[in-house]
Structure 1
Amino acid sequence: MPSATYEPELDTTRPFRIRWTRDDCARFERDGLLTPGKYELIEGDILKSMGQNRAHINTVMTFIRWLFGMFGEEFVQGPGPIDVSLEDNPTSEPEPDAVVLSKPLSAFQTRNPRPDDIRLLVEISDATRYFDRGTKANLYARAEIVEYWSLDLVQRKLHVHREPRDGKYQRVTMHGEDESIASLATPESAILVSALLPPIKAE
């Protein structure tokens, strides 16, 4: 008599997930449950901002000083919120480390910079480097932000994302600290990646 084969049923039920919105976060801030600048809203998830170490803080300031020299202080936003695509905007409000704007900061008194206001976007990455090059890169590509730089402090490499199309960056290049790179916005002004990185700690 042939034996019966038992195949267990697969549980395809997805875990329950609440997708938070900007309106939710604004209400939480009013109620004292969230502190502005201490979290990011990314694809419906409220992400607590990680404490920044000294290398991260210093690198952000180094990058911003360089951007000031290239574009002028009035066209550079430090860490702060931006808008993304119309589809993602209700559930995402990222706060990149630096943004180069096509308009002066004074133009953004009551609203965030929108994707078409952004010439270059920068994230300084250590513990979040894979998230920044994955989830965030796709979020920025869907918004058609023309150029996104992710500086990896662990591997000491700069990842340059360009040509957003169909929700992905079609051209992604990696540059070591001995290589030079220029933004699309200032192709005549290159900088060594090492000049943007913190010094290597002495053994």
Structure 2
Amino acid sequence: MEALAKWSIKNYHQMIEAGILQDRQVELLAGEIIEMSPEGAPHYMLGENTANYLKELLQNQAYVRFDGPITLANSEPEPDIAVVHLPRETYLQRHPYPEDVLLIIEISYSTLETDLGKKKTIYANNQIQEYWVIDMKQKNLIIFREPDQGDYIVRKEIKQGNVTLLAFPEITVSVNRLINA
């Protein structure tokens, strides 16, 4: 049986710096360099609108990153949205690490299997406390909380109403605004 070569974060960054991955839409997931699905206009607009909405809600409380990488143990995914600790200047020399991340949001149209499978496992293994998936086809929000041994103990699916963030329980987020942004 052939063995698949796994890449480290260091190897991945060296390839980026050398220009090997230039003009390629890829991310490092569990040591594998994976081609990212192209984003359609509705996906991009939903992501940008969601990021802007969260920026309004979380002003001066957190940094909302849109389509930017985060550095995990053996992965460097590029979630659609990452809500991370301030100050923003922390990320001038590096991407956010797991301890910086307050919330990850993936927007899913054609990537639901990956978002609910490989990415969920990666985020849970890295102790990301809260992970949301916006399912564009079903028009719902899937919330994962309490990471434990590569999975999440809590899973909720919501189509309407409001939700709060674990890190900011005083802030109310409109589910309708997220799934219809």
- TM-score under structure 1 normalisation? 0.80
User: 1:4-153, aligned counterparts within 5 Å?
Assistant: 13=1, 15-35=2-22, 38-72=25-59, 75-84=63-72, 89=73, 91-153=74-136
Corresponding pairs, count: 180
Q: What is the root-mean-square deviation in Å for CA atoms of aligned residues?
A: 2.0
Deviating beyond 4 angstroms after TM superposition, the runs of 4 or more aligned structure 1 residues are: none
**Pairwise CA distance, 1:144:** 0.8
Residue of 156, 161, 164 corresponding to 1:182 = 164
Q: Is the 8 A contact 1:43 1:92 kept in 2?
A: yes
Show structure 2 runs of 5+ residues with no match.
Answer: none
Deviation string, structure 1 residues 133-175 (Cα, Å, up to 9, x no partner): 1111111111111111111111111110101122221111111
Q: Distance in 2 between matches of 1:93 and 1:34?
A: 14
**Measured at CA, do residues 174 and 115 of structure 1 come closer, stay the same or move farther in structure 2, by a change above 3 Å?**
same
Q: Is the 8 A contact 1:71 1:100 kept in 2?
A: no
Q: Is the 8 A contact 2:142 2:157 kept in 1?
A: yes
Q: Partner amino acid for 2:49?
A: T
**Pairwise CA distance, 1:185:** 2.4
Q: Distance in 2 between matches of 1:111 and 1:183?
A: 25
Q: Distance in 2 between matches of 1:198 and 1:144?
A: 29
Show structure 1 runs of 5+ residues with no match.
Answer: 1-12
**Pairwise CA distance, 1:44:** 1.8
Q: Which position in structure 2 is the counterpart of 1:5?
A: none
